[in-house]
Amino acid sequence: MTRSINVKEILKIQEILTGAKIPCDIQEALDSYVYVTSDDIEVSFGDLNIIHLLRAYLKEKRKKQETVKNLKEGVRKAKENGVKFGRPRIHYKKRQKIEDKLLSGLSVAKTSLELNVSKGTVATIRREISKRNPSLAGRSISIIKDIDTELALRSVDNG
């Protein structure tokens, strides 16, 4: 009769061969996590035969792959049926109001409150305004309108 080696014994052998201690979180997991066999017998992971541990791991991996496959299939079918995913785009008129408020010098928080839009949406639009004119990045939004006006006047004078 051959004796099987459990996970704890394998880790002890590794500890002897490498001289490195088993991390405490792994040691705790070996003692506390429980695997239930097909015979409804609870066994700690540390007491599992390594072959059984690998089978349990592979079983969970197959379950996860099946779940991902089913999820992708569901998303594909939903898209075929016209379901839209993601956050809806903000209406261009509302976006223009947000830009106008920001350009007038109103803060992100106050703009958000006044127009009943999330701070995140207003902050994103503010960043986009700065990206359109890189010289404004990091500067106070309240001066953007003055700079835009100045640039417009220069182009009119030069034209």
Q: Which of 16, 23, 15, 12 is nearest to 50 (CA)?
A: 12
Judge whether residue 3 has pLDDT over 80: no
**For 68-81, what is the mean pLDDT?**
96
Rounded to the nearest integer, the mean pLDDT of the chain is 83
Choose between 95 and 89: higher pLDDT. 95
pLDDT, tens digit, for every residue of 33-45?
Answer: 777 777 788 888 8
Judge whether residue 145 has pLDDT over 90: no
Q: Which of 129, 131, 133, 87 is nearest to 106 (CA)?
A: 129
Judge whether residue 61 has pLDDT over 90: yes
Answer for the pair 32, 44: CB distance below 8 angstroms, yes or no. yes
Residue spans of the domains in the chain: they are: 7-80, 94-158
CA separation for the pair 101, 119 (Å, rounded): 13
**For 75-91, what is the mean pLDDT?**
90
**pLDDT, position 106:** 85
**For 119-133, what is the mean pLDDT?**
87
Choose between 78 and 88: higher pLDDT. 78
**pLDDT, position 73:** 97
Give the DSSP H/E element, type plus range, for residue 35: strand 34-36
CA separation for the pair 44, 133 (Å, rounded): 61
Answer for the pair 26, 15: CB distance below 8 angstroms, yes or no. no
Taking each helix axis as running N to C, give the angle between helix 7-18 and helix 50-80, from 0 to 180 degrees, rounded to the nearest 10: 110
